[in-house]
Amino acid sequence: MRPARRPVRWRLVGLLAPATLLLAGLFLVPLGIMATYSFLSPGLYGGVEWEFYPFNYGRVLGAPLGDVEEFDPVYAAILLRSLRLATITAAVCLVVCYPAAFWVSRLPAPRKNLFLFLVTLPFFANLIIRVYAWMLILRPTGFLNTALDTLGLAAFAPDLMFTEAAVIIGLVYVLLPFMFLPLYAAVEKLDPALLQASADLGATPWRTFVRVVLPLTAPGILGGCVIVFIPAFGNFVVPALLGGAKVMLVGNTIEQQFLAARNWPFGAALAMLVLASILVFMLAVALRAGRANPSVRS
C-alpha cells in the first residue's frame, strides 16, 4: 500500500537545508573535480593538462587507448583482488561477529555496556599505529613467531608478512566494530519469545535459526556487510603496511598514483572505477533487500 500523499512540510525542508548544502558542498564538488580530472591528461610533474583525455580508463579497461597509454591487465587484477579480499573480509567479520552479538545481547546490562565500550575502544587510537602493531606481530621475527618459537612450535611459524592473509587479518581487525554494531542492534531487537514460539511449534534449533533468526536479523547482516565491504574495498593503510608491493589493493594503488607517480588523472580514473563498482554493488544489495522485504515502509 502506498501512504497517502502528504502536503510538503516547509519546516522540514528548512531543517534539512543546512545538511543538504553541506553534503552537496563537501561531496558533490570534490566528486565533480575527480570526475573531471579523470578525463584530463596528466601534467609532467603532477597536476593536470586541460585537454580532453579519455585514455586513463583505457589503461584499466582496455579501451579507449591513445598512442601514449597502454592497456595493463595488472589494474583489473588489482580491482578484482580488492573485490575478493573485501568480500572475504566482510565474510570473516560476519562469522566472527554474529555469534558474538548473540552472546553480548544475552549478558546482564552492566557487562553488556562494558563490552560495547570495549568494541569501540580501538577507535580511540590512531589507525596507522594500530596497523603498525600488527606488523610487529606478523613479521618473521615478530611476536607471533617468537611465541611459537618459545613453545617449541618453530616449525609451524608462518611468514605472514606481505601476504593476502596478513591484509585480511588487518582489514578484519580494523573493520570488526563496523560489523559488530549493526549486527548487535539487530540481534538485540530479536524477541527471545519468538525463538520459544518457534520451538513450541515443533521447529528444531536449526529450523528456528533459518526461519526466524536469520530473516529477522537480515537487516543487520546486510548493513554490517555493506559498511565493512566498502571501506575494505578502498582501504589503503592496511594493504600499504601489511601487503606491501606484493599485495597491492586498489586503495594503495590510487594513493601511489596521486603521491608517488604523480599521475592525478589516472588516480582519479581508478577512484571513479571503484566508485562505480561500489554503486553497482549497493544497487544490487538495495534491490535484493527491497525484494526480500517489500512491505518495509517508512
Partner 1 sequence: MKSTVASIGHARLDALLHIHGAHRRFATPEGGIVSALGGVDLEVRTNEFLTLLGPSGCGKTTLLRAIAGFEELDDGEILLGEQPLSGVPAYRRPFNTVFQSYALFPHLSVADNVGYGLDVGGTPRAERNARVAEALALVGLAGLERRKPKQLSGGQQQRVALARALVNRPRLLLLDEPLSALDRHLRQAMQVELKALQHRVGITFLVVTHDQEEALVMSDRIAVMQSGRLQQVGPPGEIYDRPANRFVAAFIGNSNLLVGTVTAHRGDSVDIETVSGLRMHAPGGRFAKGDRVEVMVRPEQLSLDPAAGDGPTIDGVVETVVFVGADRHVQIRTRTGDALTALQRHVAGAREPGLEPGAAVRVSYRPEGIHLMQGEPA
Residues forming the site for partner 1 (CB under 8 A): 191, 193-194, 196-205, 207, 211-212, 215-216, 293, 295
Minimum separation from the CB atom of position 207 to partner 1 (A): 6
- Measured from the CB atom, the residue of 14 and 110 that comes closer to partner 1 is 110
CA 52, 54, 59, 62 dihedral sign is: negative
Q: How far is the CB of 219 from partner 1 (least distance, A)?
A: 10
Which CB sits closer to partner 1, 157 or 190?
190
Distance CA 70, CA 55 (A): 9
CB burial class (10 A; 0-12, 13-18, 19+) of residue 17?
A: exposed
Please give the C-alpha separations between residue 80 and each of 14, 73, 104, 247, 277, in angstroms, as whole numbers.
Answer: 44, 11, 35, 12, 10
Residue 214 CB contacts under 8 Å (≥ 6 apart), including other chains: 221
Nearer to partner 1, 5 or 297 (CB): 297
Q: How far is the CB of 188 from partner 1 (least distance, A)?
A: 15
Least distance in angstroms from the C-beta of 199 to partner 1:
4
Residue with Cβ nearer partner 1 (34 or 216):
216
Question: Which H/E stretch holds residue 142?
Answer: none
39 SS3 class: coil
Cα 229 from Cα 179, distance rounded (Å)? 10
* Cβ closest to partner 1, residue 34 vs residue 185: 185
Classify residue 231 by burial, with Cβ atoms within 10 Å: 0-12, 13-18, 19+: middle
Q: Can you tell me the distance from the alpha carbon of 24 to that of 119, in angstroms, rounded to the nearest whole number? A: 32
Give min distance, CB of 208 to partner 1, in A: 8
The smaller minimum CB distance to partner 1, of residues 70 and 191, is found at 191
**Smallest separation, CB 95 to partner 1 (Å):** 23
In sequence order, what are the residues at sequence separation of 6 or more whose Cβ sits closer than 8 angstroms to the Cβ of residue 167?
Answer: 85, 238, 239, 242, 243, 247, 249
Distance in Å, CB of 113 to partner 1, minimum: 16
Q: Of 159 and 191, which CB lies nearer to partner 1 in the complex structure?
A: 191
